Amino acid sequence: MSALWKLDQPLLLASSSVTRLHLLQSAGVPVETCCPDVDERALEANLQARNMKPDAIALELAMAKGVQVSRLCPDRLVVAADQILSFGQAQLHKPKTLDDARAQLRKLSGTTHALHAAVACFRNGEQVFAHVESARLTMREFGEVFLDAYLSGAGDAVTRSVGGYQVEGLGVQLFERIDGDHSTILGLPILPLLAYLRRAGAIEV
């Protein structure tokens, strides 16, 4: 395990996200994964019906995943995260097909949207940390020729991220302005999480 890591067991990530896994590994945090069994869309619909704001919904989704895995794996330090894309009054999700991604990107072209990323930590089913950060992203206006080329180059990857883009790759070509921490845009606010892990004695100060 990393020389900076002080716990006997790795951090347990309640997610199947490769991006979040790589963020933690790149920061020198030893990590294992356990995918939660949470119906995120049903839970999100319920939270929307209660008129909760997008950042609060992201946190509720992260907490639902984290507490479930924490109860399954007592004594482990568990981290969970979630991300919501808000566009005006609407919330967008991962496009299911390339055609869905095309329609979504047409809608976002020339406009600004927000990404709300939440992270929460649990131990023995109890929440010990929670944080939400937001970023604002402005897409440039683009035409069909560019969109065809982008979708061809990005391929099925557009269906694996909310918004239909990955700013760490070809998706950065879509934007004219990005305001917010890079890790927040990737779906895991890493700096607040690392600060908590240091306070909790999990990482060397």
User: In this prediction, what percent of the chain has a pLDDT beyond 70?
Assistant: 100
User: How high is the pLDDT of residue 131?
Assistant: 98
Distance (Å, rounded) from C-alpha 94 to C-alpha 85? Answer: 10
What is the rounded average pLDDT for all residues in the chain? 95
State the average pLDDT over residues 104-112.
Answer: 97
State the average pLDDT over residues 133-143.
Answer: 98
Q: Annotated catalytic, 8?
A: no
| Consecutive H or E run containing 43 | helix 40-49
Q: How many CB atoms lie within 10 A of CB 92?
A: 16
pLDDT digits (tens, 9 = 90+) for 17-66: 999 999 999 999 999 999 999 888 899 989 988 999 999 999 999 999 99
Domains of the chain from N-terminus onward: 11-199 (3.90.950.10)
The catalytically annotated residue of 37, 82, 99, 156 is: 82
When pLDDT is cut at 50, 70 and 90, the band that residue 89 belongs to is confident
User: How high is the pLDDT of residue 2?
Assistant: 75
